[in-house]
Structure 1
């Protein structure tokens, strides 16, 4: 198994990359900002591949751009040359490389140093010009709008939108990590301009981004989940949840209590219906109604019950005895009146799914005893 050096291992991309490589069994040498050049020399002499992720993007002094990006990259390459091992090198650069800013100029200088190293040594080199990267473990209130907004919105803190129509180009951290590992194995994705790229690119306006993140926050109250069929929505939701305050991972549900027990809605989706749960006391029957269109699934997870169904146009009753000891999901077709009776000595806990969100204005629920 290859030995890997990661510079900037304590950074956003570095932490995610290291976590994945460790799972896959690689031996890692992690260079942090508090390490010395001697550490770098020691690690460089041992490794088979270098992920160069260290860099400076928000220094106090603009001259530190060159020091932290161009100069440090050149120093790394000098040390690699001293080993005489032609160690492959991947650098995470930026789509701002080459722009007329101190940051852009310094990133371009680092790219050129890496390209020269490849030409002169014969080592494999990979230059990835990354747009905005988002995902877990990115530092909020630093240089990532998504990290900052996820952090602030989840804590009821204000966010600033100067130009709502401004478009962000984004790649997700897991896609970046996978692409870097592809390059490790010589399967990099090369773009048309000679730089390596992440295949999956997303574009979103600041206005739309803010609306989506606010929807995620509100979903704990509305219980309505967004459509997660698309990769971006799924990735963004995962990112948002990773920024929740640690003492607010949990949230209470509205439990409707009556003489039968209680019932609570758990989660709703315009695309996938809703889930709810009930607790029913011994001897109690719930239901005795039917639906024109609504389909439900019943799953008793604790206790013993009998679920009864009858087509509303005949008298034939269908019984299903169910138990939390032998899980059975029961489909409740439209046009069948149905009930569930607790026939045991303990409370019954039932998980329900319906193919649509309950709307009290059009409940599609009609009382009829089984």
Structure 2
């Protein structure tokens, strides 16, 4: 299928095109502000679907609203008519089309033009009135509070907020792209004349700012965002895309002694804690047990043995472990346990505990094997 995408270098256009290519679509005509009318004539000659994403929302002069959101749409349709091309057309409109402002009026005129065209030429028309869209590659300090807040917080810049209680209606770029590709395949989500993207996340501006600040803080406190919440999962992915190119990495505090080191990696209130333990050759660590706390050990490098003894029994149980054969060893409550490095090199163990370490209630009791 030959697909024409106008506004191809914009936020939505870039995300749409890369996913179209991921799904195997090869003939994609990319039209943007630096393209020519000759390009438009060439593309509209044989395109089989049009994603009309081009538009103006921050012009230097008010007249550019009509020129960009109505005038170019008219040019596009004229070029399709010239080639007798009845290609289906998707239009990127806005919820502002319901408002009596220059931007909204220009969007509404573009919608009406397209609806009339569809009736006249019996062509499938898919008009989407998008609310606020967020996600990777959205331009900060332009028309998206989420993009601006994400960029500024990730780059240690201040944010300004007039009213934290303003409720935002947000859709995520991946959800939008998936819906557009469904429309391409003939299965748009549609109600009456308009198509729509789901889900719409209704979130207060202050809550968005607080979440973004918590994402930044998570690099220090090692807390994992609650990605079981669909919106938080998407917002966190969005936030990471705004990290400075020289700040993808961050250091962890290594607790080092003559036995090796112990380093906390990730924490979560409901999913526990992951730490990295490094043991020097011949070193034994542990010799303690827990009432309720439970753990999982995974040796990823080196060779050793994990020993267990139920605190009221004499039998010692041993599990030989090695980075050459990855296997998880559960650490049940009620068993004192230790881990010994039997090799000649450092032994590295990934340790998960079902709860974060609480120094006031450590649930850890020292008893030798």
- Does TM, scored on the shorter chain, surpass 0.5? yes
Post-superposition shift, 1:81?
1.1
Task: Report what 2:84 is aligned to.
Answer: 84
Post-superposition shift, 1:313?
1.5
Task: Report what 1:230 is aligned to.
Answer: 229
Post-superposition shift, 1:7?
0.2
Structure 1 length as normaliser, TM-score?
Answer: 0.98
Partner Cα distance (1:181, 1:55) in 2: 20
Task: Report what 1:132 is aligned to.
Answer: 132
8 A contact 1:170–1:201 mirrored in 2: yes
Partner Cα distance (1:12, 1:265) in 2: 37
Partner Cα distance (1:190, 1:328) in 2: 50
Partner Cα distance (1:83, 1:189) in 2: 29
Uncovered stretches (5+) of structure 1, i.e. residues with no partner = none
Which runs of at least 4 in structure 1 moved beyond 3 Å after TM superposition? none
8 A contact 1:5–1:50 mirrored in 2: yes
Task: Report what 1:274 is aligned to.
Answer: 273
8 A contact 1:227–1:270 mirrored in 2: no
- In the alignment, structure 1 residue 354 sits paired with structure 2 residue 353: yes
Partner Cα distance (1:240, 1:314) in 2: 52
Question: Which stretch shifts more, 111-120 or 239-248?
Answer: 111-120
Task: Report what 1:169 is aligned to.
Answer: 169
- In the alignment, structure 1 residue 186 sits paired with structure 2 residue 172: no
Post-superposition shift, 1:194?
2.1
- Aligned pairs for 1:1-370 (under 5 A) are 2-26=1-25, 27-191=27-191, 193-370=192-369
Aligned-partner SS, 2:96: coil
8 A contact 2:92–2:128 mirrored in 1: yes
Partner Cα distance (1:137, 1:322) in 2: 45
Partner Cα distance (2:118, 2:68) in 1: 21
Post-superposition shift, 1:69?
0.4
Aligned-partner SS, 2:318: strand
Partner Cα distance (1:144, 1:301) in 2: 44
Aligned-partner SS, 2:320: strand
Uncovered stretches (5+) of structure 2, i.e. residues with no partner = none
8 A contact 1:70–1:110 mirrored in 2: yes
Q: CA RMSD in A?
A: 0.7
For 1:133-166, what per-residue CA distance to the aligned partner results, in whole angstroms no more than 9, with x for missing partners?
0000000110001110000001111111101100
Aligned-partner SS, 2:300: strand
Partner Cα distance (1:107, 1:345) in 2: 71
Post-superposition shift, 1:98?
3.1
Partner Cα distance (1:217, 1:92) in 2: 33
8 A contact 2:13–2:53 mirrored in 1: yes
Post-superposition shift, 1:82?
1.1
For 1:288-316, what per-residue CA distance to the aligned partner results, in whole angstroms no more than 9, with x for missing partners?
00111111000000000100011111111
Post-superposition shift, 1:342?
0.3
For 1:53-111, what per-residue CA distance to the aligned partner results, in whole angstroms no more than 9, with x for missing partners?
00000011111000010111111111111111211000011011131110000000111
